[in-house]
Amino acid sequence: MKFRVFLLTSCLSSFSLLLSLPGLTQRNPNQLLQRAICEQNWPEAISAIEDMKRLAPQQASRLTVYQSRLQTLANRGVYVEDWNCSQGGLPSPSQASTTSTPSESESQGQVYEIPILARASGIPVVEVTFNDTETYKMLFDTGASKTKILPSMARQLNLQSEGQGVVAVADGRFVPVNLSRVNTLTVGELTAQNIEVMYTEELEDIGMAGMGLLGQNVFGQFDVTIKENVIKLRERVEQ
């Protein structure tokens, strides 16, 4: 039940931000979204966000995250009793309840969803934001132990080397790398803090397709499920 309440309230609290996204007017999509939320009509709300993505393509990635949360609400049949639409359709946490019983899997830890933007040689491409300022497309590489970024990204983030390391590259060479840290790293619904990253000026394209690699030091503590359009990270809970 705690997971369902968290999912519902965190999802709905974000919709007030969606209604004021730059590039959108208070025309049909916003009105449809607000009405759908008020009526708890998740499919209609998903459709309204799809319209928003067409009107504000610069916000498409952000909207996709909320769309995936709505889809989760729809899939799980979440319903809030005593719904109060006087405040824009947003209930207080004490109002949140569902018509169904939480499954065993839901009691095993928090789940975070990450939209998949594309694939490069079969590897998911995701959107990653560093220090709440700069956003890049990166490969979600389950085989990488550390997160590797391009030197151009390090320069844009004004990172300073805090040490040296060595990384093996595809041709068998061992290349020296700089080690640094970012305060926050956000990918989908997950935000991690104090994450070590590595980069090197000797190998400009250290990631495939000109992108960095998101490694196990970000998601290694989760069970990872990669689906067609989304990656699910389930937090491991000690029994």
Average pLDDT in the chain: 75
Closest CA to 181 of 165, 166, 201, 159: 159
**For residue 190, how far is the Cα from the chain centroid?**
6
Q: What angle do CA 141, 109, 194 make, to 5 degrees?
A: 50
pLDDT reported for residue 145: 85
Tell me which of 42-46, 139-143, 176-180 is least confident: 42-46
With a cut of 90, say whether residue 156 has pLDDT above it. yes
Question: pLDDT tens digits for 44-85?
Answer: 888 888 777 777 777 776 677 777 777 776 766 666 665 555
What is the SS3 assignment for the chain? Answer: CHHHHHHHHHHHHCHHHHCCCCCCCCCHHHHHHHHHHHHCCHHHHHHHHHHHHHHCHHHHHHHHHHHHHHHHHHHCCCCCCCCCHHHCCCCCHHHCCCCCCCCCHHHHCCEEEEECCEEECCEEEEEEEECCCEEEEEEECCCCCCEECCHHHHHHCCCCCCEEEEEECCCCCEEEEEEEEEEEEEECCEEEEEEEEEECCCCCCCCHHHCEEECHHHHCCEEEEECCCEEEEEECCCC
Quick one: pLDDT band at residue 227, thresholds 50, 70, 90?
Answer: very high
pLDDT reported for residue 2: 40
Say what the pTM is.
0.56
pLDDT reported for residue 201: 78
Higher local confidence (pLDDT), 133 or 81: 133
- The ranges assigned to domains in the chain are 2-107, 111-235
pLDDT reported for residue 56: 75
pLDDT reported for residue 68: 72
Alpha-carbon distances of 211 from 30, 68, 147, 151, rounded to whole Å: 35, 24, 11, 11
Tell me which of 1-10, 17-26, 76-85, 212-221 is least confident: 1-10
Distance CA 21, CA 182 (A): 27
pLDDT reported for residue 179: 95
Question: pLDDT tens digits for 72-130?
Answer: 767 666 666 655 555 444 443 333 333 333 444 444 678 999 999 999 988 999 999 99
Superfamily of domain 111-235 in the CATH hierarchy? Acid Proteases (2.40.70.10)
